[in-house]
């Protein structure tokens, strides 16, 4: 977990609120997320945290909460979680405060600038936990959706505890191919319980062919005999080998090349921003200034330094995502190209039976496809 220079700057000026320009995401990016969309989401989240900061300092905690919840959906990182936990604590929403503060503490960055805020988070979490209960959920299958009282709280394995109001709660786990598992527990105020849900494979349902179902030969009308009528002989057609299409290989290869190009471009931009940070930092130090609590003469210069640090982090994260995506696409292209073609196989026997009615005649085909 890393924190950008601008986050540190706001942290040092406002003792209880952290700004969120671009901390590394605490959760993996959603499938299909591109470097551009990830950077855009982080930028939008930063603007919302800045707005929340002003609302918080004005005592408008409800409005600050609304802005931070949207920021959390866009960019669920340590600083957003800390701000949300702090705000929920002010609103006396102890369950929500405990959930966000516990996340923030699990992902607390190793930076001296934020170390002094950690005791605050630990104190608020302890006070909030005393007002609610906690459930630690273990599921026998990875990737299962976990629900508490019908509300999804994540997928297994869950990273931390789920905080709930004191009382009875139903914990469920659902995963395709498995039978749902659930357990109802009683949670005391300030207490914690453990729930283990074993997931059993769901029984398979084989398709059953019903006698008499089939297709009549097209064009068979009244008085017109149909080919094969009354033979009852099994037919065993052979399916030819499938021809490979090279279009997916070309598309995946091209996408991989684009991802590689984006990664290289973002790396160059990140290196340029890093050089800018070093140059500006040395200039401030040479001039006798510092940015921990900058004098008024250095406020603008420190702000530019933090902006450069934010750009370095954004470009660096985008480069890592682009390189990872390029690698995945390249592996997919090679795998598809080398995967063995399907061999010819014999289709299950098809039985031909007569089907004669008062106004039509035809055949019925019985078999399994």
pLDDT at 242: 59
Per the confidence metrics, is the pTM higher than 0.75?
no
**What DSSP character marks residue 17?**
-
Best CA proximity match to 145, nearest among 177, 188, 169 = 177
SS3 call for 25: coil
Strand partners, 170: 184
**How does DSSP assign 130-193, residue by residue?**
TTSEEEEEEESSTT-EEEETTEEEEESSPSS-EEE-SEEEEEEEE-TTB--EEEEEEE-TT-EE
Among the four given CATH numbers 3.40.50.2300, 1.10.3720.10, 1.25.40.10, 3.30.980.10, the one describing domain 1-130 = 1.25.40.10
Which two structure tokens, joined as six digits, stand for 57? Answer: 């300092």
β-bridge pairing 167-174 and 181-187: antiparallel
Contact criterion met (CB below 8 Å) for 132 and 165 = yes
- Spatial distance between the Cα atoms of 204 and 357, rounded to a whole number of angstroms: 38
pLDDT at 37: 82
pLDDT at 277: 80
Contact criterion met (CB below 8 Å) for 367 and 349 = yes
pLDDT at 244: 65
- Spatial distance between the Cα atoms of 239 and 345, rounded to a whole number of angstroms: 6
Give me the phi and psi of 81, to 5 degrees please.
Answer: -65, -40
| Domain 132-200 is found in CATH 2.60.40.2890 | no
Using CB atoms within 10 A of its CB, is residue 124 exposed (0-12), middle (13-18) or buried (19+)? Answer: buried
Contact criterion met (CB below 8 Å) for 50 and 9 = no
- Spatial distance between the Cα atoms of 70 and 53, rounded to a whole number of angstroms: 14
* Tens digits of pLDDT across the chain (369 residues): 444 434 433 443 344 555 534 333 333 444 455 666 888 888 899 899 999 989 999 999 999 999 999 999 998 998 899 999 999 999 999 999 999 999 999 998 887 778 888 898 999 999 999 999 999 999 999 999 999 999 999 999 998 999 999 999 999 999 999 999 999 999 999 999 999 999 999 887 444 444 444 444 444 443 434 333 344 444 444 455 556 677 887 887 888 788 889 889 989 988 998 888 888 788 878 887 778 777 777 778 788 878 888 888 898 898 899 888 888 888 887 887 777 765 545 444 545 455 555 455 554 555 544
Work out the angle at residue 28's Cα, subtended by the Cα atoms of residues 24 and 30, and round it to the nearest 5 degrees. Answer: 120
> CA dist 326 to 96, 270, 321, Å?
38, 18, 9
- Spatial distance between the Cα atoms of 175 and 202, rounded to a whole number of angstroms: 10
Tell me: cis bond preceding 353? Omega within 30 of 0 counts: no
pLDDT at 228: 38
Which two structure tokens, joined as six digits, stand for 231? Answer: 């033979």
Residue 77, sorted as left (phi over 0), alpha (psi -120 to 50) or beta, turns out to be beta
- Spatial distance between the Cα atoms of 21 and 39, rounded to a whole number of angstroms: 10
């Amino acid at each position: 977990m890393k924190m950008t220079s601008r986050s540190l700057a706001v942290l040092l000026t406002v003792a209880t609120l952290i700004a969120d320009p671009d901390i590394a995401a605490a959760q993996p990016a959603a499938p299909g997320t591109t470097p551009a969309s990830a950077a855009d989401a982080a930028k939008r989240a930063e603007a919302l945290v800045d707005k929340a900061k002003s609302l918080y300092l004005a005592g408008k905690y409800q409005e600050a909460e609304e802005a931070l919840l949207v920021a959390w959906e866009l960019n669920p990182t340590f600083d957003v979680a800390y701000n949300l936990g702090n705000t929920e604590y002010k609103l006396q929403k102890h369950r929500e405060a405990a959930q966000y503060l516990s996340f923030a503490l699990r992902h607390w960055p190793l930076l001296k600038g934020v170390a002094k805020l950690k005791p605050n988070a630990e104190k608020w979490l302890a006070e909030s936990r005393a007002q609610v209960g906690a459930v630690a959920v273990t599921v026998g299958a990875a990737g299962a959706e976990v629900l508490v009282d019908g509300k999804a709280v994540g997928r297994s394995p869950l990273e931390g505890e789920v905080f709930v109001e004191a009382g009875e709660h139903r914990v469920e786990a659902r995963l395709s191919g498995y039978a749902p598992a659930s357990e109802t527990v009683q949670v005391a105020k300030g207490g914690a319980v453990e729930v283990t849900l074993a997931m059993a494979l769901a029984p398979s349902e084989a398709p059953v062919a019903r006698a008499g179902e089939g297709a009549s030969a097209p064009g068979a009308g009244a008085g017109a005999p149909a080919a094969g009528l009354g033979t009852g002989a099994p037919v065993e057609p052979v399916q030819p080998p499938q021809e490979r299409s090279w279009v997916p290989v070309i598309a995946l290869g091209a996408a991989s090349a684009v991802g590689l190009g984006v990664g290289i471009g973002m790396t160059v931009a990140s290196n340029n921003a890093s050089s800018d940070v070093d140059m500006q930092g040395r200039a401030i130090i040479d001039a006798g200034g510092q940015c921990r609590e900058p004098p008024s003469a250095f406020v603008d210069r420190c702000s530019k330094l933090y902006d450069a640090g934010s750009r370095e982090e954004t470009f660096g994260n985008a480069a890592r995502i682009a390189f990872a995506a390029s690698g995945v696409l390249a592996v997919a292209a090679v795998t598809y190209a080398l995967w063995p073609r399907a061999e010819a196989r014999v289709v299950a026997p098809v039985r031909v039976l007569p089907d004669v009615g008062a106004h039509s005649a035809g055949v019925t085909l019985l078999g399994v496809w």
